Each structure stands twice: as structure tokens, then as C-alpha cells.
Structure 1
Amino acid sequence: MDFINKHTIVPHFLAVLSFYLLVVTYFSPLVFDGKMMFQTDILQWEGSAKELLDYRESTGEEALWTNRMFGGMPAYLIHLDPKGDITNTLLKVITLGLPHPISALFFGMTSMYLLLLGFRIRSLIAVLGAWGFAFNTFNFLSLEAGHNAKIWAVCLIPLLLTGVHLAFHGKKLPGLALTALAVLLQLKFNHLQITYYTLILVIGYGVAQLLVFFREKRLPEFAKITGFLLAAAVLGGLGNLARLSSVLEYGAFSIRGESNLQETGQNSSGLDRDYAFSWSNGKLETFTLLIPNYFGGASQQALPEDSKSEQALRAQGADPAQINQFVQNAPTYWGDQPFTGGPIYGGVILVFFFVLGLFFAPPPYRNAFLTLTLLSLMLSWGKNLAWFNFTLFDYLPGYNKFRAVSMALGITLFLIPLLGALGLENLLQQPQNPQTKKGFFMALGTTVGLLLLGVIIAFGLDFQGTASAGYPDWLQRALKADRQHLLLSDTYRSLFFIGGAALLIGLVRYKVLQSRWALLGVGLLILVDVWTVNRRYLNEESFTENPSAQHFAASAADRKILQDTAYFRVLNVQNPFNEARTSYYFNSIGGYHGAKMSRYRDLIERVLTPEMNRFIQKAQEGNFDYQGIQVLNMLNTKYILAGRAENAVFTNPEANGPAWFPEQIIPVGSNKEEIGELAEMNTKIEATFTPADGESVPPPGSGQLSLKSRGPNHLHYVAQVNSAGLAVFSEIYYPKGWEAFVNGEETEIHRVNYLLRGIVLPEGEVEVEMVFRPESYYRTRTLSAIFQYAVVLLLLLSGYLEIKTRFRA
């Protein structure tokens, strides 16, 4: 467990150098040519964060609220860089200046290497495990999609387990320091679903250690170490107080919080079950860990030259251009998920080593890591293992806040190289005897047997995917043959890599080849294997000069709306609630975010979508019924966008504006009653109000209201109020942070019209200011920075003492 001593510096240096060179080589267009990856989700983020980044650049301050998404929402759900935060600098240092997000892969390899060294695994095997961990398709497909926070969260798992493992094995101070650092950084990336899975992993490891300490009658020591580790984790968590406190506070008001309109059979809080389990890995898709194209690869993937589909299309007399278009984007995937960017492939050699671990790894680790691997697979199956996962969803605390449960495969792909490296190391340490020989060949036979079993099962199915259901029978038969070919080709490929690795390890066991050369050969096979599979999905075509410039280039429609400098919102009727390009330029009715406000989600589902669809249907008939979109009007929707051409912009003359006085107040007693009223009423002259116990319904006010100035965190209105009463503002109501001041005196903000703000104004000339000052952020910002520095000091102290001890020896 000696990370640093006089004899290991060179191997460690070469290991880290290999990690750096691998990342730089694979992503050379990004590193050397200044190109960027076309990451869909990152482009969505850029659109949603544009207002925030512009505000920081112009003022030096953080925008904590944004009006660009879903009518308005807290900005710290999109982007936040608190003053005094040092985590970005820290990441630059420990990743040697590599650009984001590929720096995560380098860090993942480095931390996995440290973890395997902590398990007393020789440097060469630790390098192989690190390569396999970082270069699985889970990470690369996530990179292509733009799930950068998820990749970072996964790549920090080894560092966290390194800290925990060291603390339980005599290295308390380094262990605590690494634990605090890992928690600090993982929570920084705010991917709480991966953090949740990481917690399950650490608990599983802790149970294994508890059993060991129990057998050795050292339970007081176990309790002491556990207490210190919890303290270290809390220290790392406190370094994210400003981020976490605000996000957790918001959670109660998001779609992951309590439902406002609970239906019979629906959870009172958390996500809808169907939504949460929409991306559930098929049970048989587990075979993609061994055979990449087991289920055809990606939803759309290029077919080999002269494929059966190409032949069939040619025989039918199809146009060459149509044939080329089809074979380059063929619906090869036939699995259970709605669509996929590619298979989750862990490297068949690493799976073989994982099976070796079942025979040769120390029992405490074997049992713990096998159990956790099976658990992660079961979690990833989601609705395909309904009895198990629905029970967890209903009863496991916090689990109903997450979706895309196939993400649990990130834990699977961490455990495979971990147990695999343990298995290989312990095999090579075993003396050559019949029992060792038997274990080796049983592991080899089991892995090959799993491959063959997968093929037999697949051929027992029909290779029929939902994506190709509408094609004629002759084309479906051709697609079936192509899917069979893809599966068989990758099966032969996997057999080749397993055979090559088994041969090299066998030569070591029979003393024909030195272990270092055999391990280098195995490492080369692992790299060729994962590298070539990743190239199917993330290759030269994935890099471009400047995807943002192309994606956000102002269209004729954008330029037309940009001429208007007033305050308004825009509805893009083309997939409005799953796109953030509109948010790049305008305050949008729609947006793209997985944690929108629950009240806004209710509005979308119950009112906005039906209202929008009715408007579009009438508009197609030549009737632009702006009076019929009363809820869009109350959200100050001045422009409706139906494309990128100038004539695709429609001006709504009925938009209510930034603020107005209603003529009638409708008291309501429940959310269901209120949203029902909202769908029927004239929002310009009517407003709903939910009185609290003992509260009277305010009278409607009258007069003139106008917006004087605006910013993300601040709104300033002036009014001439003829009669005192309620005014309605076209701003989204959020009770945690918005403060209102009427003529300098703080005044209550009421929730009206289900999700808008209302303020009772006095008669006369009135100034109204709304300021967003969430206490959860401001009271913790300085504390966060202090705790971050404490983590760094703990890390430096432990490193200094460790180096001092090692070089004194």
C-alpha cells in the first residue's frame, strides 16, 4: 500500500504519463486543433446559461435567477460559480491543465490507479484496470451526449473508495483527506443520482469491512474509523454548502418534490414512475458488456458494406441516394429502450478478469463486489425488474427523485475492472497447482459460456425492434439478417480478445513468458478492444470547429424579434419544452431542464399544451385566436415562433404585459380548483387567489403599472394606483428568495393564478422592487470557501507527512 517510495516513482510516473497520452491522443482534435465535440446537452446548457454568463461578464456578480427558462427559475440549477470557490482551480491543477470535459477521463484513470494500488495490486495491473475503467463506452457515449457532470461524478468514485479503503487499512489521515476531497469534488458537479449510487457502493464496502472487523473482534476500531470517515465526508460536503443548500431547498418545489395535483395511485412526492423508469436497461442488454453489438449497437448506425438491407433496397430499385441514406443511419437497435446512442460495453477482457476474481479474489472483496455488481445490474433493469425496482422507488428514501435508472451501469463498469484486477493479481500470485489451473480454466470456460449463451438466446428471439416495425416485410427480413451479422461479428471479436488475453496469462502461469511482457500484451489488447468500439460512436466526425456558433447563429426570425427591446417572452412551438436554443436570445416559455418547477410542469401538462395545440390548429386554418391563449397571455408571450424564417414570427397583440390590475379576484380552495379556473378564465381581467387560514381575499386594484428596469435578480416597477388592491405580475412565484418592496417597505408576495406573483399595492404613486436574495445561498457562500480550503490543507498535510515518512525509510 506504499503509494510513494524511492523505488516506485518511475512506474507511477509512467502510469500517469500513459493516462495523459491516451486522453490527448484520442481527443487530439480537441487538444491540438482547437476543435470541439458536438455535445447536444452542452448546447442546450449554453442556451439556458447565456443570460447568466453575460450577466457575470458585465457585472462580475452571479445571477441567481434566470428569466430565460420556463418563464423563470433559480439559476443555480443551471450554473453557479460562487465567489471564493476554488474547486475549478483545484481541478485544473490535478488534471494537469487538460481541457474540460476530457480531463475527467484522465482523473478517472489516475484515481482508479490509486485505488488498485491501495488493494496491493502491482502497478502494471493497476494501469490496465485504470485504462479499462475510463475507456468504457458508458463514459464515451456520455461525452458525446454532453453528460459531462455525470462522467466527472463517475470518475470520482475510485478516489472516494480509495480514501475509505485506506482509512480501514492503517492509513487514516491520507484516507480521510482523499475522502473529503472526493466528496467535495463529486458534489461540486451536482449529479446527485451518481452520488446516490456511490453511497450505496460505499455502504456495501463498509458492510464487508464490518464483517472483517467483527471476526477479528475490532468493532470499536471500526466504529472509530467510520466516525472519522463520516466527519471527512461532512467536511467535503460543507465545501458545497452554497450549491447544495440552494438546490436542496429548491427540490421541494421541483418535479422531484411533493406533487401539487396528486392523482390516485401516484406518489405524493418524487417523479412519476413511468417517467423515472422510461430508460430501463433490458435484462438481456446486459450481454452488451461482452458483445457490443448484441442488440445492434446504436438506435441508428451504419451497416457494413454490401449489407443485406443494401442488397434488398437495390433489388427493389431504390434510388442510390436513398440507399446510402438508409444504410448510413439504419435502425440497427432492437432492445427495450426508447432509443440509445450505443451499447454499454465494459471490455470483454475485463469481464473475463472479473470472472477470474470470482475464483481468486480475497473472499471479503469478492463477495462484496459481486453483490454490488448484481445490485447495480438489477437497478439498471428498472421496469424490467418491476417487483424489485418499484419497491425501492416507493420505499427507499430519496430514490424516487431520479430517472434514467440505466445510469446504475456506471457502478457496474467501475466494479468490473476493480474485481478483475484483484482476480488477476491473486491468480498471478498463486503457485502453479491443479487447483489454480482448474480455477483459471473454469473462469475462461464460464466467460466463453456466457458468450455462447447470449448468442443462443438472441437467435431464439426474432431480432425485431420497434423502430423497424413500419417497414415492409422484405426490408424487415433484411434488417434481421444484418442484426444477426452484427451480433455474430462482435461475438467472434470478443472470442478473439478473450483467447488472446487467456493465452498471454497462460504463458505466464507456465513460465514461458515474463509477467511484465504478458501484462503489456494484455494491456494492448484491452486498448485495441475498447478504443475501436468507442470509435464507432465518438470519432473524427464528432469534432467540429465551433458547434455553438453554428447552432446559435441568429436566424432571420431571431433578428426580427431582437429589434424589440421591451420585456416579453417567446413561445417556440417547435418542441418548446425540450429545447433551449430559444433561451439563448429570449425569455422563453419553454426550455430544457430535468428539474423544472412542479407548478410549471402542471401548467404545461394541464393548460399550456392543450392551449398551444388549439392555437396551432386554428392558425393552420387561418384563424389566429390570440384571445384563446389566455395563459400564454398572462405569461407575457408577445411572440410566437414557428420556424427560423422572418415570416415564422407571429406577434401576439393580446399579451398581458409585465404587470396589470385584474378586475375580479376569484378565491380558490385547492390547487386542482385553481388550475381548473385558470384554464377557463380571462387572465387579463380575472385572477385567482388562495387565501390562507384567517386571511381575507384582497380587492382588485386599478391604475397603471409599468416595468422601469430589469435584471435576473432585480425588477423595478412604477405605478399610478387609482384604487388600492391586488396587482398581478407575469413572473413565476418562488417563495424562497424573492422579496418585494413597495415604496421601500417590505411587502408580502402572494401566489396568484397558480404560479404568478401578486402584490397588494396602496393608492397613489408607487414604486415596486423585487429582489432575489435567497438566504440559503448568501449565508453559506463564505462558509463554503472556508471548508474548501480546509479540505486542501488536510490533503497537503497528509501528503507531506506521507512523503516525509516514505523517504525517511
Structure 2
Amino acid sequence: MAKKKNVKSAESKPALVEKETWITRHPVVSLLILCFTLLLLFFSPLMFGGKTVMAPDALSSGALTPFVQDAQQRGMTPLWIPYIFSGMPSFGSLLSAPGINPVDDFFRSALNAVQAPAFTFTLLNYLLLALLLYVLLRDGKVAPVAALFCSVALMFMPQFVAFTTYGHNTKFLALVLIPVILWLVRRMLEDKSLLYFSLTALAIGFQMVRAHIQVTYYTFIALFIYYLFHEIADYREKKQIKPVLLSTALLAGAVLAGLLLSAKLYVSVLDYQRYSIRGGGVGGGGLDYDYASGWSFHPLEMITFFIPAFMGFGGDTYWGKMPFTDYPLYFSVIVMLLAGVAFILRRKRMTWFMGIVVLFSLLVSFGNHLPLLYGPLFKALPFFDRFRVPSMIHILLDIGMVVLAGYGLQGIFEYRASGQKQAEVGKRLFRYLYGFCAFVGLLLLFLVFSKSVYLNMAGSGQMPLNEAQRLLAYNKSVLDGFKSVGLVLATVFLIRGFLKGKLSTLGLSAVLLIIVVVDLWMVDSKIVRPRPAQEKVDYFHSTAVVDFIKKDTSVYRLFPVLDEKSGNWYAFHFIQNILGYSPAKLRIYQEFLEETGFNSQDRFGLNGFISKYWRIVTRDGQLTPQAVPIDQIGRERLQFESGMLDMLNVKYLIVNHLTLPDPRYKMVYTPSPWIYENTTALPRAFFVDSTVTL
């Protein structure tokens, strides 16, 4: 009988002794120095260059700043804002909730006192995110250099960078705390400790007063998944119900305590949501299904995980299935590569938990493209129907993938340290690495050799692109395809070299860190578009129209019929408007706007009010507005819309390039934009606060 041969991996090398360096001796200090330096470099235009961001959502929220400041100077909590949508709750809708977060208020005040750049507070929260993820990974027995790699990767996630540069700061500030909440819950359930119970409650409460309910809701989903995963595994091992009951009580108590810590805010929010578009539906339901699922992530867009610009990246060249987007939901092809390694080399409990979170988040993000899952969740899961944009749950996917990448990198370290004695594991690892390379390579080959197919696909998106846009999208995707292939090949080459003993642990981590920074930096730099700070000042600067209207010191409202200013712009100047922007407006008022058409637009950009006076016709091959004789307009419609404006106390209407040929409205200001006075406006309705009997 032949002797059995001792099979060894072709990559087998003895474990090497790692040299200690300053970085390995001081990992936390190294993390803070490196991350802070990278943040200063990336955001240098906002920190040192006198630049700011001018995204529409940032401008909409910025328009409310004078209102909030005025209320604070008066020593009041702004509960009601009269300047948008004819007035609506501001505190309960989370449009403005100052004074509910003393910790953040303290740091903001301290930074203002030393005249730090406006972006400093946000930048420090990126640093905090990196540090908290580092803590989570170190608790999971991930080496400091691998944890540092992941912290930097998470810090530069394109979606997280976009949140702060497109005016969604509360989303970012809330998600910063997800890693520490996961870590604290893990420790609480493992140790059954009162200390970790208290810290968990504080962390949850702190996240909640950062005032983004949807992020907190997704955090609770992750916690519930972890609780089920942990307790089922624990019970299978110990066959005891008492620890499960104790864990249940601890987690429920911590969540309840967190809710109580934030009750000052959320009692008002829960009270208001019954009347808002998020909770004022039939039978107390939430948002309309189609409206809520509008930004669903199509399965085809998963290709952007490998090639970020495959769908045109964003903006004018985006051709995916969402109504529009400014950036891809990319998290680095290198992070994805390493995350897969975790399921080969580090099959531990937390690996499977993070895998479940990632898979669940991905499936939920499909939204109306996967109604088999999203539909039942929308109908049955408490409060799920209060939230829109299913793709936002990618915040959990991003964090989960980065954590898995850390486990994957740690698995590579441990595999080499073990002497690579498990030949079958080594074969699986390299089959996976080479297969990943092949898949990304095939995507590139498709782009290179199937240009016509791609261009046809780009013409059939939610917003079909013209020929020039399709060609630009194609060129972007090809360039990104070559970049992804190059980065993946380099990463696989480095891992192979590391397993052959040609690189140290620190060396591999450092080079991979450079690769992932280059990868994400190239994407992030297309998202952040700094503008001179003076442009923001100029944007809100008073105009001749504002100066004219404010000469009238009586009580009235404005109707911007055709106007270039954004919905909340007039609020900056304390002018009351019947329109505006809010994701949580009163449902009854939303229904009123839909019925009247005051806030709607046809394909020519005309709202329901002005479109009865003008029709768009083709003349000499050009689209031209043509006035409709007033006697051809239905009398009932004229009286109805005029009556609505009268009862809303609308005294002034602004029209940018079309006149109002109606005797009810008198032009009182020229040139364009013209101001019309509503000659039949009624006085403001009011509540009688007291009566006197004579």
C-alpha cells in the first residue's frame, strides 16, 4: 500500500516573526493622526479654502437658520414655523429641534468660540466614526493594523461623504454611533453587566437626540437581528433559558431607557406623525407605498459595487431605476473582495451575523423591485411604512461590509501565522480570489466589447439619456472598469506576496490602505463640489422683490407661482409662503396642494395654477407659450382657485416669465420677476384668545 503523502498548500510558508514598530506600539494614536490628516487633506477646501457646499437640501435647511436663531434669541423653543406651507409644526416635524442635544450643542459652542471653520464639527464626527469602528473591530479580535484599514475605509464611504455634503447632516451624525451601539450591546449580552447596560442606554439615547429616526430605526433592526442571532446560538450551546430571558430584559430595558432619554423630542414627534404625510394615512397608516419605495435599489445596480460608474455614476448621466441620484452606493471593490475572504478564513459568529445584516439590508433596499419581501415588511413591521428611500438601509450594508473586510484581513493574517497548514482552505481562498478577479474582468470585457448594448441600456433607464449623455456614461464606466480591475489585481498580488512571506503584516495593511484610499478618494472627489462661501451668502442675499414685499408690514402670505428660488428661500427673509420643502409636511395640506395643483408641475414646468392661463404650443418648430383667453377658462375653476388663495391670505404672487391675464391680480412690481397683488385676499383667520362681557 502506497504511503499517504503529506499535502501542503503551494503557498505554504512558515510563520514569520513580525517586527514591532511605533505604529504597532501606539495603534490608537496612529489611527487618530492618520485619519485626522486624511480628513484635513480631503476636506481642505471646506476647512481652509473658504469654501462651502451648495446642495439643494443644504440650502433648504439653511434657509430656516434665521428663524431658529430668532426663536433662540427670544428664549423660545420654535414649535411652529409660519414661513412654509402656510405654517406647520417645526419641532415635531424635526425641521428645527434646538436644545435637545446638550452634548453636541456644547461642542458646537466651543468650536464657535475659537472661530473654527464651520465644517470642523462634522469633520470631528468622521474621526469619531473611525475611532468607534476601531473599538468594535478590536473587540472582535481584529489586529490593530487591520482595524485601522477598516476605519479609514468606513470614514470615506461615498454615501457617508455625500450625506454631509448634500445637507443630510443628521443622517450622518446618527449613523456615527452605530458601531459603538453594536459593540456595547454585544458586551452587554455577553457580560450581563449593569455598566454596559447603562452605556448602551446612553448611546441609544444620544443617537436618538441626533434626530434622524430612520437611521435609529435601522439601528434597532440590526440590534434585533444580533439579539436573535446571539440568543439562539447561546441557547443551543448552554440549553438554558434564564440567560436568554436576562438578555431580553437587558436589551429591552436599554432601548426603553434610551427612548426615555430622548422623550423630550420624540413625544412631540410621535404626536405629530399622526397628522403628517408619514403617519396620517387611512387608518393611521404611513406613507403611500409607491411614494415610500421611490428610491428602491435595483438588483442590476449591484454592478456598481464593482464598477461605481456602471450606471453613469450620478447626475445627468445616471440611467438606473431610481428617479435620480448624485452618486453610486459604492463601498470599494477592495472592501468587497476582503469581505468575501472572511467567509473562507474566519467563519466565526460575528462573521455570520454581519453577513446576515448585509444580506438583509441588500434585500430590503431592493424595495418595490422585491415586493415579496418589501411588501409584507411595509404592511406588517411597526413604523416601517413611515420611512421612504429603501436604499438608505445601505448604511447598515456599508458598515457590515467594512467589518467583514476587517475579519477577512485578519483571517489572512491568522492563516499565514498558522503556517498555512490547511491546504484545502488555501485552495478555497485562491479559487475565490482568482474568481473575483475573473468576474471583474468579465465586467470590463463586457464594457469594452459591448458598447452598443450598454448604450441601449443607458437609453432605457428611469430617465432616458440623450446620445451625448449615454456616451459620457459609457466612457465613465469604462475608465472605472479599468481602475477596478487594476486595483483588484494589485490586491490579489499583494495577498499572494504576503502569504509567501514577502510582506509584513504592517506592509500589507499599509499598501492596502493606500489602495482603498485611492479607490474611495476618486469616487468621493466627484461627490464633493466645494463652492466659494460667498456664493452661499449671495444666494440668500435680499432681492428687489423681497425689499418691495417687506415694505408691506401687514399680515399676508406669498405664492411663488413661477420662481427660481427654492421652496424655503423666502423663509430666510421671514416671508410667509404657501409652498416650501419638508419631508414631513401636514398630510391634509399635502392633499390640498395635490387637489389645487398649486405645487404641481407639468412637463413644461408650469404649475396647476398658471397652466390655466397659458398653453404651450409649437410655432415654427419651437415650443412657445400662448395665452388662453380668460373667457375660455372654466368659471368654476377660476372661482375655486381664487377663493383658495383668498382664504389662505395670499396677498402677493410672484411670476417669473409669464403674466397673469386676470383682473383679480394687479401687477404692482416690474421688471420680471413680476409681483402681482391679489385684490380679493381675505384677512388672516385667527383664534380669539379672550372675550370681555360689557
TM-score category of the 2 structures, normalised to the smaller one: 0.7 to 0.9
**2:568 corresponding residue in structure 1:** 580
- Say yes or no: does 1:181 pair with 2:202: yes
CA distance in 1, matches of 2:237, 2:609: 72
SS class of match (1:650): strand
- Say yes or no: does 1:385 pair with 2:378: no
Judge conservation of contact 1:626–1:653 (CA < 8 Å) in 2. Answer: no
Q: Which amino acid aligns with 2:265?
A: R
Q: Which amino acid aligns with 2:595?
A: R
Counting only pairs closer than 5 Å after superposition, residues 385-424 of structure 1 correspond to structure 2 as 385-424=370-409
Query: How far is the alpha carbon of 1:588 from its aligned partner?
Result: 0.9
Judge conservation of contact 2:205–2:258 (CA < 8 Å) in 1. Answer: yes
- Say yes or no: does 1:499 pair with 2:489: yes
**1:636 corresponding residue in structure 2:** 649
Q: Which amino acid aligns with 2:69?
A: L
Query: How far is the alpha carbon of 1:362 from its aligned partner?
Result: 2.8
CA distance in 2, matches of 1:90, 1:56: 18
CA distance in 1, matches of 2:640, 2:272: 34
Counting only pairs closer than 5 Å after superposition, residues 53-72 of structure 1 correspond to structure 2 as 53-57=69-73, 59-72=74-87
CA distance in 1, matches of 2:567, 2:358: 36
Judge conservation of contact 2:313–2:473 (CA < 8 Å) in 1. Answer: no
Moved more, 116-125 or 151-160: 151-160
Query: How far is the alpha carbon of 1:299 from its aligned partner?
Result: 2.5
The match for 1:361 among 341, 346, 352 is: 346
Judge conservation of contact 1:56–1:62 (CA < 8 Å) in 2. Answer: yes
Query: How far is the alpha carbon of 1:271 from its aligned partner?
Result: 0.7
- Deviation readout 1:522-556 (Å, 9 max, x if unpaired): 11111111111111221xx4232244312211111
CA distance in 1, matches of 2:401, 2:348: 16
SS class of match (2:191): coil
- Say yes or no: does 1:236 pair with 2:266: no
Judge conservation of contact 1:577–1:592 (CA < 8 Å) in 2. Answer: no
Judge conservation of contact 1:258–1:268 (CA < 8 Å) in 2. Answer: yes
Counting only pairs closer than 5 Å after superposition, residues 409-808 of structure 1 correspond to structure 2 as 409-430=394-415, 431=418, 432-433=420-421, 434-452=423-441, 454=443, 459=450, 462-466=456-460, 476=467, 480-538=470-528, 541-574=529-562, 579-585=567-573, 586-607=575-596, 609=598, 613-614=608-609, 617-618=612-613, 621=628, 628-643=641-656, 646-647=670-671, 648-659=674-685, 729=686, 741-743=689-691
Judge conservation of contact 1:361–1:419 (CA < 8 Å) in 2. Answer: no
SS class of match (1:216): helix
**2:16 corresponding residue in structure 1:** none
- Deviation readout 1:749-790 (Å, 9 max, x if unpaired): xxxxxxxxxxxxxxx67xxxxxxxxxxxxxxxxxxxxxxxxx
The alignment's TM-score, normalised by the length of structure 2, stands at: 0.82
CA distance in 2, matches of 1:468, 1:225: 47
CA distance in 2, matches of 1:450, 1:494: 11
CA distance in 1, matches of 2:43, 2:472: 31
Query: How far is the alpha carbon of 1:441 from its aligned partner?
Result: 0.9
Q: Which amino acid aligns with 1:392?
A: L
SS class of match (1:146): coil
Q: Which amino acid aligns with 1:409?
A: H
Judge conservation of contact 1:137–1:534 (CA < 8 Å) in 2. Answer: yes
- Say yes or no: does 1:197 pair with 2:193: no
Q: Which amino acid aligns with 1:517?
A: G
Judge conservation of contact 1:556–1:646 (CA < 8 Å) in 2. Answer: no
Name the CA shift for 1:350/1:567 in 2 (closer, same or farther; >3 Å). same
Name the CA shift for 1:40/1:496 in 2 (closer, same or farther; >3 Å). same
SS class of match (2:501): coil
Query: How far is the alpha carbon of 1:382 from its aligned partner?
Result: 1.1
Judge conservation of contact 1:463–1:484 (CA < 8 Å) in 2. Answer: no
> Percent identity of the aligned residues?
24
SS class of match (1:570): strand
Judge conservation of contact 1:463–1:483 (CA < 8 Å) in 2. Answer: no
Moved more, 193-202 or 623-632: 623-632
Query: How far is the alpha carbon of 1:622 from its aligned partner?
Result: 7.8
Counting only pairs closer than 5 Å after superposition, residues 123-162 of structure 1 correspond to structure 2 as 123-162=144-183
Q: Which amino acid aligns with 1:339?
A: F
Query: How far is the alpha carbon of 1:412 from its aligned partner?
Result: 0.9
Aligned residues: 619
CA distance in 1, matches of 2:33, 2:23: 17
SS class of match (2:562): coil
Judge conservation of contact 1:142–1:151 (CA < 8 Å) in 2. Answer: yes
Query: How far is the alpha carbon of 1:20 from its aligned partner?
Result: 1.7
Name the CA shift for 1:577/1:202 in 2 (closer, same or farther; >3 Å). farther
Moved more, 39-48 or 269-278: 39-48
Name the CA shift for 1:94/1:443 in 2 (closer, same or farther; >3 Å). farther
- Say yes or no: does 1:116 pair with 2:137: yes
CA distance in 2, matches of 1:274, 1:456: 37
SS class of match (1:435): helix
Q: Which amino acid aligns with 2:78?
A: A
Q: Which amino acid aligns with 2:102?
A: D
Query: How far is the alpha carbon of 1:577 from its aligned partner?
Result: 11
Query: How far is the alpha carbon of 1:83 from its aligned partner?
Result: 7.1
SS class of match (2:653): strand
Name the CA shift for 1:84/1:32 in 2 (closer, same or farther; >3 Å). closer
- Deviation readout 1:106-160 (Å, 9 max, x if unpaired): 2211111111111111111111111111211111222232111111222221111
Q: Which amino acid aligns with 2:87?
A: G
Judge conservation of contact 1:115–1:159 (CA < 8 Å) in 2. Answer: yes
CA distance in 2, matches of 1:237, 1:377: 28
Query: How far is the alpha carbon of 1:626 from its aligned partner?
Result: 8.0
Q: Which amino acid aligns with 1:17?
A: I
Query: How far is the alpha carbon of 1:297 from its aligned partner?
Result: 0.8
Name the CA shift for 1:27/1:494 in 2 (closer, same or farther; >3 Å). same
Query: How far is the alpha carbon of 1:443 from its aligned partner?
Result: 2.6
Query: How far is the alpha carbon of 1:366 from its aligned partner?
Result: 2.7
- Deviation readout 1:631-689 (Å, 9 max, x if unpaired): 11111111111239844111112111113xxxxxxxxxxxxxxxxxxxxxxxxxxxxxx
The alignment's TM-score, normalised by the length of structure 1, stands at: 0.71
Name the CA shift for 1:607/1:188 in 2 (closer, same or farther; >3 Å). same
The match for 1:73 among 71, 88, 93 is: 88
**1:310 corresponding residue in structure 2:** none
Judge conservation of contact 1:71–1:588 (CA < 8 Å) in 2. Answer: yes
The match for 1:273 among 289, 303, 310 is: 289
**1:352 corresponding residue in structure 2:** 337
SS class of match (1:571): strand
Query: How far is the alpha carbon of 1:176 from its aligned partner?
Result: 3.0
- Deviation readout 1:373-408 (Å, 9 max, x if unpaired): 111111111111122212221222111111111111
Name the CA shift for 1:174/1:275 in 2 (closer, same or farther; >3 Å). same
Q: Which amino acid aligns with 1:63?
A: P
Judge conservation of contact 1:281–1:382 (CA < 8 Å) in 2. Answer: yes
CA distance in 2, matches of 1:743, 1:35: 55
Judge conservation of contact 1:557–1:643 (CA < 8 Å) in 2. Answer: no
- Segments of 5+ residues of structure 2 without an aligned counterpart are 1-21, 601-606, 615-626, 658-668
- Say yes or no: does 1:23 pair with 2:23: no
Name the CA shift for 1:516/1:487 in 2 (closer, same or farther; >3 Å). same
Query: How far is the alpha carbon of 1:248 from its aligned partner?
Result: 0.9
Judge conservation of contact 1:356–1:420 (CA < 8 Å) in 2. Answer: yes
CA distance in 1, matches of 2:629, 2:473: 47
Query: How far is the alpha carbon of 1:241 from its aligned partner?
Result: 1.3
- Cα RMSD for the two superposed structures: 3.1
Name the CA shift for 1:421/1:83 in 2 (closer, same or farther; >3 Å). closer
CA distance in 2, matches of 1:249, 1:375: 30
SS class of match (1:254): coil
Judge conservation of contact 2:560–2:655 (CA < 8 Å) in 1. Answer: yes
